[in-house]
Amino acid sequence: MDSIIVTGGGPLQGSIPIAGAKNACLTLMPVTLLSDEPLTLTNAPRLSDIRTMSTLLQSLGCEVSALSDGLVLALSSHALNGARADYDIVRKMRASILVLGPLLARHGSAVVSLPGGCAIGARPVDLHLKALEAMGAQLELRDGYVHATTPAGGLRGGTFAFPFVSVGATENALMAATLARGTTVLKNAAQEPEITDLVRCLKAMGARIEGEGTATLTIEGVDRLHGATHRVVTDRIELGTYMLAPLIAGGEVTCLGGRRALLSAFCDKIEAAGAAVTETPEGLTVRRANGPIRAVDVETEPFPGFPTDLQAQMMALLCTADGTSVLEEKIFENRFMHAPELTRMGAQIEVHGGTATVTGVERLKGAPVMATDLRASVSLILAGLAAEGQTTVSRVYHLDRGYEHVVAKLRGVGATIERIKEDG
């Protein structure tokens, strides 16, 4: 099992290219199930989760080819031979549930295992199922699988109000509604950039959707969707992660392809903490404005609020801030598992339920630490940039799910970092 060793102490300087969004690409790939014509995705990230989704789609009979060193994905579902997504594949990644809506819409039936993924709370799929039921789907949970069928004539338009914002459930319902008979209205829908990206791809394939970027989506079903080529939106979570690096280590870094509109609440928060963020045609340039980073309070919220997927990385920054910060996690429970590992490095953190209180220390100290999930793993690497001595992060297989070439990207701006193979 691989580990990453980070030696802190030096400022960062240069530029980091930001990849296409993992969460967007994982949603766009199942769109191929809605059409018998080819779908081509450009600016695709090269991650293990993308390979897992490729394997899942191939198990259904899709053709998936990675071109241009994996930056282009060519997909075709003209010859599907199954509608069952097995546990052995689905358990690896929660996004696998996103094949349910498209399979049901185009083929009238689907059998999909309940998903797995990072251990950061229950994250039930109830809203996915209730939204599909609002379109007439008949669902049964049996032996760990969702058995889904449609009435004669397929899915029909309906209205569903999400009791709380759910990105995945919005995506599943949106894809299914494109081929439903009549009009579907989704209220309190998620507004993340990944949702807007999905809408744009579906519209390029002939879907009729209004309300992109708002909390109400109106979908007029069509008989069929055609093929298209679509560029995956920039990964705002990778963007935010690397924007924090020069604030933690010092120096100045330009995140190529970044746009403030993807992370406005996050940018506001780090500026309040003492960052200088400059938007240029190339991307976002970040450095400390003047003096040390100051303590700030953070509350995670659905878009356009502060992203839950940047909470762990923000905590790493605040570990050495001047003052005491309070972080409230409002999206997922059990998402402070990185806190004990940061404490091993000398951080002062107290966790009570969904609230973490971080009192800044002058300097962290390198230590052996263990990654517990995807975002926690990169937060420990960021903390290592500010630590005295070496930090060894183990169980970094989590990292490969969401960050491509993290060692090369950080080394390219001057970080002392390497990936090693552990014996056994």
CATH class of 2-19+234-421: alpha beta
pLDDT tens-digit profile of 148-175? 999 998 999 999 999 999 999 999 999 9
Nearest in space to 95 (alpha carbons), one of 110, 85, 109:
85
Nearest in space to 198 (alpha carbons), one of 153, 157, 231:
231
- For the chain, give the mean pLDDT: 93
Please compute the mean of the pLDDT values over residues 317-344 and round it to a whole number.
Answer: 92
pLDDT tens-digit profile of 10-67? 899 999 999 999 999 999 999 999 999 999 999 999 998 899 999 999 999 999 999 9
Q: Is 50 exceeded by the pLDDT of residue 90?
A: yes
Bridge-based pairing of strands 138-142 and 145-149 is antiparallel
Which residues fall in the annotated binding site for UDP-N-acetyl-alpha-D-glucosamine? Answer: 94, 123-127, 309, 331
pLDDT band at residue 119 under the 50/70/90 scheme? very low
The answer, yes or no, to whether the previous bond of 292 is cis (omega within 30 of 0) is no
For residue 124, what pLDDT is reported?
65
For residue 1, what pLDDT is reported?
79
Q: Tokens 């920054």, residue?
A: 317
pLDDT band at residue 123 under the 50/70/90 scheme? very low
Does this model's pTM top 0.75?
yes
pLDDT tens-digit profile of 278-312? 999 999 999 999 889 999 999 999 999 999 999 99
For residue 118, what pLDDT is reported?
40
Q: How many CA atoms lie within 13 A of 304 on its CB side?
A: 12
Nearest in space to 197 (alpha carbons), one of 402, 23, 24:
24
**Domain spans, the chain:** 2-19+234-421, 22-231
Backbone angles phi, psi at 248, to 5 degrees: -80, -45
For residue 83, what pLDDT is reported?
87
- The three-class DSSP label of residue 8 is coil
Q: Is 80 exceeded by the pLDDT of residue 334?
A: no
DSSP 309-341: GGHHHHHHHHTTSBSEEEEE--S-SS--TTHHH
Which residues fall in the annotated binding site for phosphoenolpyruvate? Answer: 22-23
Angle at 396 between CA 88 and CA 422, to 5 degrees: 100
| Distance, CA of 203 to CA of 146 (rounded, Å) | 28
Please list the active-site residues: 118
Which residues fall in the annotated binding site? Answer: 22-23, 94, 123-127, 309, 331
Mark 309-325 as b/e (b = at least 16 C-beta within 10 Å): bbbbbbbbbbbbbeeeb
Q: Which residues pair with 66 in a beta bridge?
A: 73
Bridge-based pairing of strands 324-328 and 298-299 is parallel
Angle at 227 between CA 258 and CA 179, to 5 degrees: 100
Query: Is the fold of 2-19+234-421 the same as that of 22-231?
Result: yes
pLDDT band at residue 116 under the 50/70/90 scheme? low
- DSSP category for residue 359: E
First to last CA, the chain: 7
| CATH 3.90.550.10 at 22-231, yes or no | no
Q: Is 60 exceeded by the pLDDT of residue 122?
A: no
pLDDT band at residue 121 under the 50/70/90 scheme? very low
For residue 375, what pLDDT is reported?
82
- The three-class DSSP label of residue 386 is helix
Nearest in space to 383 (alpha carbons), one of 364, 358, 398, 396:
364
| Distance, CA of 203 to CA of 186 (rounded, Å) | 17
Angle at 49 between CA 99 and CA 340, to 5 degrees: 120
